[in-house]
Amino acid sequence: MPTMHDVARRANVSLSTVSYAINGTRPISEETRRRIFAAMKELGYQPHALARGLASKRSRILALLFPTSERGLGNTDLEFIIGAAEAARELGYHLVLWTSDVNDVVELRQLIQQGLVDGVVLMEVHLHDKRIEYLRGIDFPFSVIGRCADVAALPYTDIDFEQTVREAVIHLIQLGHTDIGFFNYAREVFEAGYGPAVRVAQAFERITQEMGVHGVTCFCHASAQAGYVAFNALIDEHPEITAIAVMNERSVPGILQAIDDRGWCVPEDISLISLVSSRQVTEMSMPPLTTLAPPAAELGRLGVELLVQQLDGRPVSIAQTLLPCQLVLGESTGARRQRLHEPSASPQ
Amino acid sequence: MPTMHDVARRANVSLSTVSYAINGTRPISEETRRRIFAAMKELGYQPHALARGLASKRSRILALLFPTSERGLGNTDLEFIIGAAEAARELGYHLVLWTSDVNDVVELRQLIQQGLVDGVVLMEVHLHDKRIEYLRGIDFPFSVIGRCADVAALPYTDIDFEQTVREAVIHLIQLGHTDIGFFNYAREVFEAGYGPAVRVAQAFERITQEMGVHGVTCFCHASAQAGYVAFNALIDEHPEITAIAVMNERSVPGILQAIDDRGWCVPEDISLISLVSSRQVTEMSMPPLTTLAPPAAELGRLGVELLVQQLDGRPVSIAQTLLPCQLVLGESTGARRQRLHEPSASPQ
DNA sequence: CTGTTAGCGCTTTCAT
DNA sequence: ATGAAAGCGCTAACAG
């Protein structure tokens, strides 16, 4: 494996000149740089990452911290990760995956003290996240996918939940729906202050009111069974509802089943829109769901870019970005119509 | 940030003694090692990963090569990754995620030449994989999740497709089914020699024959629509079929819809079993599917362990492991029954 | 059992 | 515009 020394000799220059040529850290005559790069190519030279990192005190390695044990990683999380990995690569960084508990500051400190990484990207942040406190305390570069409570000077990227809900509601209104149900996460999750649950709930209230339509919120655990039960309860109490927005994709199969059991059809008798579900997931439904697909890969990408911006010392003026979800039309939403069958409390 | 030098002075020993104490590379008197570790603790010392790697020529960093553009990321892939990441951590290694094209040997070479990683784990290998040829050629440590054609001396781990199919068929037979349909991937995929498609097909043929039941194989693209069409075609031609095993989970929603359109019920009129689908995916169906869930996390873990074994110079005698899928009972399989409604070629 | 020292391959002053 | 040389923090001969 050729070293810089080999390149230097072959190009008839000193070792340091090669270094400067590679890093562009100081002017090199055109002739010299040509020779150097030629020598590099001939030798198939690649700078040694560890040596470079040790000498420059910049490893060009980032860590992506993602808690494993949380609420079960979904399909979207993989896209985050891939997005982050690709962004890192394009920016000339390596990405190491670091699975750890959300609140385990000890492990985080160990990771950082090893001097391996220049900065970290956090996923699944809590509203009051120990890790963020710690990183702020020691002034170690980081960025966040999601948001904690105190976002002052926090470099983060997150989904624009306001826009997401607005677009969903507008879509339904345009189809003629004026009575809209909303399935949030379970009440516990909401009350624990899980960001997305809270933000979407607030947005739904505000926007339905603003638009002058009738909105009914209900909480629902992340399971088909819960969806089945919750749907029936909701419709029994609010038979006027003709469209439902679901924040909680795991409950969708149950909802669909409940609809079917009433002898209803989607979207003829009721429209269904999923609120932050990836295309992949919604395509697994029959009929394929209309959804507001989250920009998962972009979020991962942006998380990395935010971090690299800091590391490369560029101005980080606007380091807070909200990304919109994108309306993907499936076959689960349609024009409001009079239902052929009267709703009945018990199916069949 | 304290260095080894600091520890040495505080413990009143030479720098090298600290090194030896940490690495256990040579005997240290109990008294001395006590002092050293005390000093380390007091200073909160952590060895510098880059320096250590540079000096020892072992970075303790692994790369997970993850081809992104292939056949769309599945839910299982994330579990692979997590499994691998956790295993690496437990073994004292870091894991960098390297997304790249399956056939891009150039990038792989660049990665390796940087000297950053001690070895690589490959995912999504092809039967004739350029990367494997390359790695074998330069004798660089690696392991494989999946299998290529020439497995001689190949350190790999993969799903035991034979066992998977056998268990599925037995499950169905025990429920009384004797006419079983099998949905493979698309014909092109099969003919291109995609390992899982080929292996499962062979296993299905052999096992149904061996068990003396009637098996019908069909190919099907990975979409709900394809599933819908393929199911109807299959049943029209083979109305005797009462159970179906699906290798291709993306077609399942279409199959379910087709069943429903005939006025049939799952599992009363027909049983459905999914062949290598994660629990997560099968739970999204209504009813939840019976599946043979792949040991995704274990595969990832094992891939890393296989690699680390080589790196740590342990005997790698049995470096080829097949892992079984696990039968997870859903509600999509049940006893064979006389169908109430006669099958009809065109639904409704 | 412990210390001394020469690198690992590169960056970066300090000179010229 | 280029070179020489001092480290970065650690490992691993070599010496005792």
The average pLDDT across A308-328 equals 86
Q: Which of A146-150, A326-330, A334-338, B325-329 has the lowest mean pLDDT?
A: A146-150
CB A1 within 8 A of CB B115: yes
- A253 and B285 within 8 Å at the Cβ level: the answer is yes
The confidence score (pLDDT) of residue B346 equals 45
Residue with more model confidence, B147 or A137: A137
- Arithmetic mean of pLDDT over chain A: 90
Q: Which of A79-83, A135-139, A239-243, B123-127 has the lowest mean pLDDT?
A: B123-127
Q: What percent of chain A has pLDDT over 90?
A: 71
The confidence score (pLDDT) of residue A181 equals 97
The confidence score (pLDDT) of residue A194 equals 80
A220: which DSSP letter? Answer: -
Would you say residue A346 has pLDDT above 50?
no
d(CA B81, CA B66): 9
Taking the Cβ of residue B345 and every Cβ of chain A, the question of whether any pair is shorter than 8 Å is answered with no
The average pLDDT across A60-84 equals 83
Residues 122-181 of A with CB under 8 A from B: none
The confidence score (pLDDT) of residue B259 equals 94
**Alpha-carbon gap: B304 to the closest alpha carbon of chain A (Å):** 14
Would you say residue A347 has pLDDT above 50?
no
* Positions of chain B with pLDDT lower than 50, given as ranges: 343-348
Contacts of A50 in chain B (CB under 8 A): 50, 53-54, 59, 115-116
- Tell how many helices (H) and how many strands (E) occur in chain B: 14, 12
Nearest by CB to residue A114, choosing from B49, B81, B283, is: B49
Q: Which of A55-64, A233-242, A317-326, B303-312 has the lowest mean pLDDT?
A: A317-326
Q: What percent of chain A has pLDDT over 70?
A: 94
Give the Å distances, CA to CA, from A33 to A18, A164, B77: 8, 52, 44
> Residue A64's beta-bridge partner residues?
A97, A121
Residue with more model confidence, A308 or B285: A308
The confidence score (pLDDT) of residue A316 equals 67
* ∠ Cα A62 A66 A67 (to 5°): 150
Domains and CATH numbers, chain B: 4-56 (1.10.260.40), 161-294 (3.40.50.2300)
Amino acid code (one letter) for B26: R
The confidence score (pLDDT) of residue A348 equals 40
The average pLDDT across A193-214 equals 93
Kindly report, residue by residue over A271-284, the tens digit of the pLDDT. 999 999 988 888 88
The average pLDDT across A162-181 equals 97
**Alpha-carbon gap: B139 to the closest alpha carbon of chain A (Å):** 13
Q: Which of B121, B140, B118, B141 is closest to B61 using CA atoms?
A: B118
Taking the Cβ of residue B78 and every Cβ of chain A, the question of whether any pair is shorter than 8 Å is answered with yes
The confidence score (pLDDT) of residue A85 equals 95
- A116 and B82 within 8 Å at the Cβ level: the answer is no
The average pLDDT across A310-317 equals 78
The confidence score (pLDDT) of residue A51 equals 97
Query: A72: pLDDT confidence band, cut at 50, 70 and 90?
Result: low
Nearest by CB to residue B48, choosing from A74, A114, A288, is: A114
List protein-proximal bases of chain D (any atom < 7 A from a CB).
1-5, 7-13
Q: Which of B202, B327, B322 is closest to B276 using CA atoms?
A: B327
* Dihedral sign, Cα of residue B67, residue B71, residue B74, residue B80: negative
Strands in chain B per DSSP E? 61-66, 94-99, 119-122, 142-145, 156-159, 179-184, 214-219, 243-246, 271-274, 290-293, 320-323, 326-328
